[in-house]
Structure 1
């Protein structure tokens, strides 16, 4: 993968840098989402979700472009491979400068993706916590008040009329 790769290599670096820039945007969105989830702002959350869907479309296009460039590199160098990794490309580069550039972008992408994953995990926990709170609140509002949490004397007669919850569950 020596001289023939040189023709497609700059385009590969360019596409990887564009993907990296988009990953930085997603990292920023994930940070914003965390704060919005903490604040409970539904309107802001809706905006962020919209931006994320636009981001996914951009990344998909760049991923398609990256795969085309990699395929071109493989074809130019008569390499038969279903999948090739960045490490495979790095190992087949002659130029120390090119190796360094590819290693750098690989490291940046890896670090950013790991940060995004950590924030997404935290955001998932925040969402689950909110859902549990909502579920608990609904249960409190709809439960039968005669099954209260307060102590009552065991021998005391209670009313035989069944009280319903604050809201009719069947409505």
Structure 2
């Protein structure tokens, strides 16, 4: 169990480093770098999912004779199955993992805000390039009239 949690801490730490790099890439506006970074992140996420499946299997083995399922068991529930030294190590690694996840969440929230700001800037730029169409005369629309053309530069329908 300890080795599995240690692997999760390392992978989350690596993912955190990628998220920090992603922040710089977003600030630079490097779309190709952002795409490559996202591919690398997906590889890390896949590896984390695989290690998490190992963790679930280990927990299922620990609680095999009990009425609880592996999905509802916490690390605190597993501690009685280990020696005191192992319990201390598991709790320390658990705290590291919790801290890594908190840091990763903070950086991801920052990256999301930066991307939203970039999108707002792009929309503002488009609005400045494409001025509002002006109505020359007033005409009352009826249900049979064609809808007015939109200002989108993309030719697509939802």
- Which band: TM-score by shorter chain? 0.7 to 0.9
The correspondence for 1:46, drawn from 22, 25, 35, is 35
Which residue is 1:88 aligned to? 77
Instruction: Determine the structure 1 residue equivalent to 2:145.
Output: none
Distance 2:154 2:18 in 1: 40
Give the aligned CA root-mean-square deviation in angstroms. 2.1
Say yes or no: does 1:103 pair with 2:91.
yes
* C-alpha distance 28-168 of structure 1, shift in aligned 2 (>3 A): closer
**TM-score after normalising by structure 1:** 0.74
State the alpha-carbon separation in 2 of the partners of residues 123 and 59 from structure 1.
Answer: 21
- Match of 2:73, SS state, is coil
Larger Rg: 1
**Cα distance in 1 for residues equivalent to 2:31 and 2:19:** 15
Deviations 1:5-56 (A, max 9, x none): xxxxxxx111111111100110001100111111111111111001011111
Secondary structure of the 1:46 match is: helix
Corresponding residue for residue 131 of structure 1: 119
Q: Give CA-to-partner distance per residue, 1:67-99, whole Å, 9 cap, x none.
A: 001100111xx2221311012223x24622011
What TM-score results when the alignment is normalised by the length of structure 2? Answer: 0.80
Gaps of at least 5 residues in structure 1 are: 1-11, 147-159, 161-166
For residue 105 of structure 1, report the CA deviation from its aligned partner. Answer: 0.6
Q: Which has the higher contact order (CA 8 A, sep 6+)?
A: 2
Question: What residue in structure 2 maps to residue 5 of structure 1?
Answer: none
In structure 2, how many angstroms separate the alpha carbons of the residues matched to 1:53 and 1:68? Answer: 23
Secondary structure at 1:62's aligned position in 2? helix
* 1:57 and 2:49 aligned: no
Distance in 2 separating the partners of 1:111 and 1:57 = 21
